[in-house]
Structure formats: C-alpha cells, structure tokens
C-alpha cells in the first residue's frame, strides 16, 4: 500500500527481496489450528521444516510440525525465541494482537504483512479501506451507542445486521434487525463493543475467490467457489461455481485488484455476495487460506496451502488449474458420536471421495472437525456423489 497508509506502531516493514527462501529452511506458523496443519503438510512435502506457535498443546498443526512452541500469544519473550528459530512467519488465524506481530516483524519477514492483518481483523477498518480504494461493499455504518444504532437502523429501513467490529466469525457476534423492536435486543447483545451495522443484502448466492501474490508481485487466483451456509457456518462449496463465466471473471478480477491494492504477500480469501440484480459486493477478507478453498487440496494442481508456502517463501506460484469438478462438505462436531465419525468405511466406499480429519480431540456442535471432497468426472457426477455422501451423513441436500 502507499506510504500514506498507517502501519502498526513500532513495526518496521521488512523490504521484500526477490531471493527465495528455499526448502530446508524453517517456516513459522502463528496458530495451531487446521489451517496451520494443512500448511505444514504442504510445507513438509516440499522439504521445509515447520515450527508452530500455539497457546495450547496437542494442536492440529502441532501434530504435523517439526516443533511446537506452546505459550500465550502475548508472551513476547516466547514470541522472540520463536522468531529466532524461523526464516519467515505466516499465520492461520486473524485474532492476533499487535504486540507479538511487532516482535516477529523485527526478526523475520511476516507474510502477509502485519498491516494487512491489522486492516482485516476489524470490520470497520476492512470495509473502510475497501471503500476508499473503490471496491464495491455492502453499505455500513459504525455503531458506538444505542442512539446511533437506532438512527442507523432507521436509515437502513430496519433491514440490517449488527455485528461486532472485531472477533466475530461463523455468525458469532451478529444480530439481525428486522424491525424497530429488534434494536434494543441487538444493542444489548453487542455488550458495549464497537459495532458495525450492515444493510442486509438480497443476494442470489455467496462466492469466494482465493488469490495468491508473491513478494515479486506475481498473482494467481483459484477457481471461484459457490458457497452454501447453514447456521452461518460454511456447509458446502461447489467448484466450479454454477454461474455465468462473466460473473466468475469479474469475481477473479476483484480478488486480483484487492491483492494488488493491499500489496499482498501470501494468500487472501475474498468472500463475495452476488446480488439479485447481478452485482458483486465484497463481504469479507481473510488474509490466509480459507475453508472454502479446501477443495484445492484434492482438485487442483496446486492447493491453496502449497500456494501459501510458495508465496511466503518467494517461490514461483503454482498452477491453480482445476483437475476435476468437486463439492466440498464441511464435517462439524454435530456428526460425531463420542470420538468417532460414524460411517467412515461406508463413505470411503466411494473411490472419488477424499476424507480430511483435523485431529481435534473434542467434538462440539458447530466445531469444524474435518471435510470431505467429492470429486466427479463432470459437475453432475460430483453433485451426485455429494448428494449420496450427505444422505449417508444425515445432512440435508443442497439445492
């Protein structure tokens, strides 16, 4: 971004040289969840070592990494020791405070940059920078008091969604406003936190594009995913999306434009709404691999995780060609019986179904425990295999 954009206080940007970080080096991942796990799988396959920083032992990423640092995220001494053991740092979740990132950035390149993380981990900053750079977004207003909320809700015709500005995901920290009577309860649910009110979008479907950009400015996008949600959590992604090529091309161009505008180094997920009148609006950004890109592990020449390794290490980007149509299905803790997912053997009776489990010890309702990728010889075949898998799992059918 331009030098006029603020950077985190105390952070010294490290110039992105073109010299690549080669296999044999140790890559650092901040966070120990499933995204870090899949990054570590890709990195180790390419000959890198991986060190994970997590605040709890026995993490999904720690199972795969060469080493696991277990310490609070605000333990700056531990963060500094971690930084001295790695060649480059990346992250697998956004809820990282500024101080550890400042510490890491003083020792090694952090990719994507701390500034991108700072902008995207709070909705008002994120939508503000997108709007300032001319990208289409949902209409939004900052909410700091109940009076402001009442005025903003009226301005949006009492058809809006109130969200916490920070730390919300999978529908957490959100309240729907359908009329004036909902305002008080929505404000109470916010609990005094900074909020953002967004006008509700009448959309045909939700889309996402994973885009990668290297330190040298090379860019690549993955095929557009058509996403379906249940209880505000991603349920399934269909690739290729069942949309006109014009819309898919526009979605990819939007993702590329955002990556360039933010001077991304790494991987970024761009979530979009396609409105009833055929317009694309940017909903959210995630500066990391994304649940809706998990299909790429099995269905693309290069997965989003290998692409993340390539981008943060300054290597040439890989091909994002889709090898087979597919449907990705999330597996939530609701499906588990004790410590097991019932019917695994029956599911794997389909030779074109790929199972990924994340190694989490405790299954809870709504918790992402794994995913399936149903590959097909053509889109109709992938759809039929996904329908059969969903029936075996007791999940409702997609439409």
Instruction: Please give the residue that has the higher pLDDT: either 390 or 101.
Output: 390
Phi/psi at 101 (5° precision): -70, -40
Mean pLDDT in residue range 256-269: 98
Q: Is the confidence at residue 259, as pLDDT, over 80?
A: yes
> Do both 184 and 210 map to the same domain?
no
Going across the sheet that includes 49-54, the strands are 67-70, 49-54, 26-30, 88-91
Q: Which of 100-109, 204-213, 310-319 has the lowest mean pLDDT?
A: 100-109
> Do both 178 and 73 map to the same domain?
no
Specify the pTM: 0.92
Query: CB 77: neighbour CB atoms within 10 A?
Result: 9
Q: Is the confidence at residue 211, as pLDDT, over 50?
A: yes
> Do both 177 and 193 map to the same domain?
yes
> Do both 175 and 210 map to the same domain?
no
E strand or H helix that includes residue 307:
helix 304-312
pLDDT tens digit sequence for 46-88: 999 999 999 999 999 999 999 999 999 999 999 999 999 999 9
Residue 127 token pair: 């939508």
Burial pattern 161-179, b for ≥16 Cβ within 10 A else e, equals bbbbbbebeeeebbbebee
**Whether 379 contacts 325, CB under 8 Å:** yes
> Do both 74 and 221 map to the same domain?
no
CATH number, domain at 149? 3.30.1490.20
Q: Is the confidence at residue 263, as pLDDT, over 80?
A: yes
> Do both 341 and 231 map to the same domain?
yes
> Do both 178 and 289 map to the same domain?
no
pLDDT tens digit sequence for 358-372: 999 999 999 999 999
E strand or H helix that includes residue 211:
strand 203-213
How far is 60 from 336, CA to CA, in rounded Å? 17
Longest dimension (CA), the chain: 60
């Amino acid at each position: 971004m331009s030098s006029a954009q603020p950077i985190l206080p105390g952070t010294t940007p490290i110039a992105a040289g073109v010299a690549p970080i080669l296999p044999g080096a140790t890559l650092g991942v901040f966070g120990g969840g499933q995204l870090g796990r899949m990054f570590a799988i890709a990195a180790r396959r390419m000959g890198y070592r991986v060190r994970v920083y997590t605040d709890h032992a026995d993490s999904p990423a720690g199972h795969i990494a060469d080493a696991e640092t277990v310490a609070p995220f605000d333990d700056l001494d531990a963060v500094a020791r971690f930084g001295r053991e790695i060649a480059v740092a990346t992250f697998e979740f956004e809820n990282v405070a500024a101080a550890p990132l400042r510490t890491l950035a003083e020792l090694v390149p952090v990719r994507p940059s701390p500034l991108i993380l700072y902008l995207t981990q709070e909705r008002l900053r994120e939508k503000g920078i997108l709007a300032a750079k001319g990208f289409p977004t949902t209409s939004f207003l900052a909410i700091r008091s109940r009076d402001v909320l009442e005025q903003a809700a009226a301005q949006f015709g009492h058809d809006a969604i109130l969200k916490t500005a920070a730390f919300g995901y999978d529908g957490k920290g959100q309240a729907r406003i359908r009329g004036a009577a909902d305002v008080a309860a929505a404000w109470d649910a916010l609990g005094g936190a900074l909020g953002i009110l967004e006008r509700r979008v009448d959309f045909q479907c939700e889309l996402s594009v994973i885009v990668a950009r290297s330190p040298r400015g090379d860019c690549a996008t993955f095929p557009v995913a058509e996403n379906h949600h249940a209880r505000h959590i991603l349920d399934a992604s269909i690739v290729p999306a069942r949309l006109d090529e014009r819309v898919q091309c526009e979605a990819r161009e939007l993702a590329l434009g955002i990556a360039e505008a933010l001077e991304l180094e790494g991987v970024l997920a761009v979530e979009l709404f396609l409105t009833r009148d055929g317009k694309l609006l940017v909903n959210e950004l995630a500066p990391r691999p994304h649940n809706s890109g998990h299909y790429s592990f099995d269905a693309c020449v290069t997965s989003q995780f290998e692409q993340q390794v390539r981008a943060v290490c300054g290597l040439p980007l890989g091909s994002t060609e889709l090898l087979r149509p597919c449907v990705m299905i999330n597996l939530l803790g609701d499906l588990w019986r004790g410590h097991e997912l019932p019917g695994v053997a029956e599911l794997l009776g389909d030779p074109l179904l790929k199972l990924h489990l994340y190694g989490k010890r405790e299954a809870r309702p709504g918790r992402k425990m794994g995913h399936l990728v149903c590959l097909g010889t053509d889109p109709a075949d992938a759809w039929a295999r996904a329908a059969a898998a969903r029936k075996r799992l007791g999940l409702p059918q997609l439409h």
